[in-house]
Structure 1
Amino acid sequence: MAPTTGLTVYHNPQCTKSRKSTTLLEENQEKGNYKLDIVKYKVTPPSRETLEILVEYLGIKNKDGPWKEDRPWDYLLRPEVQGKATSFEEAFDLIEEDPAMLERPFVIDWDRKIAVLGRPDISKVEKLVEERLSGKL
């Protein structure tokens, strides 16, 4: 079962943006008053339940956003597999088969029920940390 409080980052140590995001989250943990759970998702893949929560917290079902409107599940996937799934279920299957297909880094704020992706830059992760530092819950 996934955590229900604090922050979780789905982290790939080989990824520069993932390392920067994780470092930022670690450095601000005490000041931001949150517990940080770092999940190396290639070793410990997210469960289907966690992927469903991620989709909910990202707000990508039936909403406009930075994803392809007709293929919102592609937002979860690395560029090399975008277009290979035709639904969230198929995207989840791809990630379950090979966790490296999950885009990274994703950060889930369990307290506020939101999630952000640290791509194409880490500005959304920075904003999430700033909000935590300012006490916006």
Structure 2
Amino acid sequence: MITIYHNPRCSKSRDACELLAKTYNVANEPVQIIEYLKQPLSVAQLKTLNSMLGCSVRDTLRDTEAAYEELGLSNPGLSDDQLYEAIATHPVLMQRPIVVREGRAVIGRPPERIKALFA
């Protein structure tokens, strides 16, 4: 099963879905597309996803969103739990797309990065 955390309004997210369908998913594995703005992830789900990504929670934050500044998320004193809570409450803050396959995940920016899940 391949899972894509997707925002259909994002060109990178749309490109990743297209690359997956036309190039990387040659075995035609089942694909689950989750529009995370409509189905926000819980803090627990975010932590699991982040462990598959193998990066810091800060690396999963979109620092260009207005909510990032409004919530003061650039403050280095904020704990990981506070950052996870901010993403859970304001899912627009989550990087996109995120593609998960076989217990590993990548942020598809640029979309070609998802190739790593098929190597």
TM-score of the pair, normalised by structure 1: 0.71
Q: How far apart are residue 88 of structure 1 and its match?
A: 2.2
Q: Give yes or no for contact 1:10–1:104 (8 Å, CA) kept in 2.
A: yes
Q: Secondary structure at the match of 1:116?
A: strand
The alignment of Structure 1 onto Structure 2 pairs a total of residues equal to 111
Which amino acid counterpart does residue 8 of structure 1 have in structure 2? T
Q: Which residue of 2 aligns with 1:51?
A: 46
CA distance in 1, matches of 2:30, 2:75: 35
Q: Which residue of 1 aligns with 2:14?
A: 19
Q: Give yes or no for contact 2:40–2:91 (8 Å, CA) kept in 1.
A: yes
Q: Give yes or no for contact 2:16–2:97 (8 Å, CA) kept in 1.
A: yes
Q: How far apart are residue 58 of structure 1 and its match?
A: 1.2
Alignment deviations for residues 31-78 of structure 1 (CA, whole Å, 9 cap, x no partner): 224211100110001222221111111112xxxxxxxxxxx2211111
Structure 2 stretches of 5 or more lacking a match?
none
Which amino acid counterpart does residue 74 of structure 1 have in structure 2? R
1:106 to 74, 98, 104: 98
Kindly report which structure 2 residues correspond to 1:1-137, keeping only aligned pairs within 5 A, or say none: 6-27=1-22, 31-60=26-55, 72-80=56-64, 81=68, 83-84=74-75, 86-109=78-101, 111=102, 113-119=103-109, 121-128=110-117, 130-131=118-119
Structure 1 stretches of 5 or more lacking a match?
1-5, 61-71, 132-137
CA distance in 2, matches of 1:75, 1:20: 21
Which amino acid counterpart does residue 83 of structure 1 have in structure 2? S
Which amino acid counterpart does residue 88 of structure 2 have in structure 1? E
Which amino acid counterpart does residue 93 of structure 1 have in structure 2? E
Q: Secondary structure at the match of 1:104?
A: coil
> Sequence identity, in percent?
30
Any runs of at least 4 consecutive aligned residues in structure 1 with deviations exceeding 6 A, and if so which?
none
Q: Which residue of 2 aligns with 1:63?
A: none
